[in-house]
Amino acid sequence: MESFNAESASDYLKVALAAADKAATISRQYYAGNFTVTTKADQTPVTQADVECEQAIREVILNTFPEHGFYGEETGQTLPDAEFLWLVDPIDGTKGFVRQYPFFSTQIALLHDGEVILGVSSGTMMDELAWAEKGRGAWLNGQRLKVSDIYDPDRAAISTGNLKSLAETGGWAALGDIVKHADRIRGYGDFYHYHLLAAGKIEAVIESDVNILDIAALSIIVTEAGGVFTDLNGDKPDLEIRSVLAANPSLHEKFLAKLKGYVR
């Protein structure tokens, strides 16, 4: 298995990895439960860990690249029209973090003129650190990632995440048709099923309720591992993305034909 050559990392990747490491130190300290929780206007929770992790990430990145834009889950946007824009979810999976599920992560992505060119996904409590740069492959804990070559839906392992929007449409029956043929159905959720997909351990991820901060980094990790990452209409991720169909190329085409058109 091919190992990552640290000398090949760009300055952008080195800074993103350093920022993720700082966030991991903070989230690990709070994971035992010694933190305050407040509720945002959209009724989602936010903790001290979310805020402090984002502040640390922002400081590391903007101290090195002060001319870059920054879009964080907790602190909002600065320089949104900048050539380079960092997208950050300091703790993706806060609801799970509050209940001490280990499936939370830190997500850091970099856009250049609207295209994701770098992603870091740090699953702190799972000891999973994945990253990718455009044209340079995807890596997990220093080992190269590659999606599986399984093309038969009857042999596919599929993981689902949030599905509320899909459940309110005719797409629920379309999903049921996929499910009844699949070899295995799981709900690994959050960052983890994307890591499994990129590593060739499952074949597809389907979600209908996401935002760009949740999945920007994961999108380039999957694509650099040879997968296809779109919304449920087959469109590439953008700042307005709300759903995901990620899979190896053969199965993406098959599943998209069933799911397209039901949700954005």
> 248-262, pLDDT tens digit by residue?
999 999 999 999 999
45, amino acid identity: P
Q: What are phi and psi of 140, to 5 degrees?
A: -130, 120
pLDDT (average), residues 231-244: 96
Which domains are seen in the chain, by residue range? 6-144 (3.30.540.10), 153-259 (3.40.190.80)
For residue 34, the model assigns a pLDDT of: 73
pLDDT (average), residues 53-70: 97
> 40-61, pLDDT tens digit by residue?
777 777 889 999 999 999 999 9
Q: Is the pLDDT assigned to residue 1 strictly greater than 80?
A: no
- Asked whether the whole model's pTM tops 0.85, one would answer yes
Rounded Cα distance between 161 and 210, Å, is 9
For residue 7, the model assigns a pLDDT of: 79
Q: Is the pLDDT assigned to residue 219 strictly greater than 90?
A: yes
Angstrom distances, CA of residue 198 to CA of 57, 83, 149, 183, 227: 25, 28, 11, 18, 7
For residue 5, the model assigns a pLDDT of: 87
Angstrom distances, CA of residue 167 to CA of 93, 184, 208, 209: 21, 20, 9, 11
Task: Give 90's DSSP letter.
Answer: E
For residue 41, the model assigns a pLDDT of: 73
For residue 168, the model assigns a pLDDT of: 95
- Tell which wins on pLDDT, 228 or 264: 228
Q: Is the pLDDT assigned to residue 33 strictly greater than 80?
A: no
Q: Which residues of 176-194 are buried (b: 16+ CB within 10 A; e: fewer)?
A: eebeeebeeeeebbbbbbb
- Tell which wins on pLDDT, 89 or 264: 89
pLDDT (average), residues 121-141: 97
> 196-218, pLDDT tens digit by residue?
999 999 999 999 999 999 999 99
For residue 37, the model assigns a pLDDT of: 81
For residue 6, the model assigns a pLDDT of: 82
Rounded Cα distance between 47 and 74, Å, is 10
Cα dihedral value 145, 120, 190, 106, nearest 10? 150
Start-to-end CA span in the chain (Å): 38
Percent of the chain with pLDDT over 90: 83
29 backbone φψ class: left, alpha, beta (φ>0; ψ -120 to 50): alpha
The Cα diameter of the chain in Å comes to 51
Angstrom distances, CA of residue 238 to CA of 66, 116, 137: 24, 9, 21
> 142-173, pLDDT tens digit by residue?
999 999 999 999 999 999 999 999 999 999 99
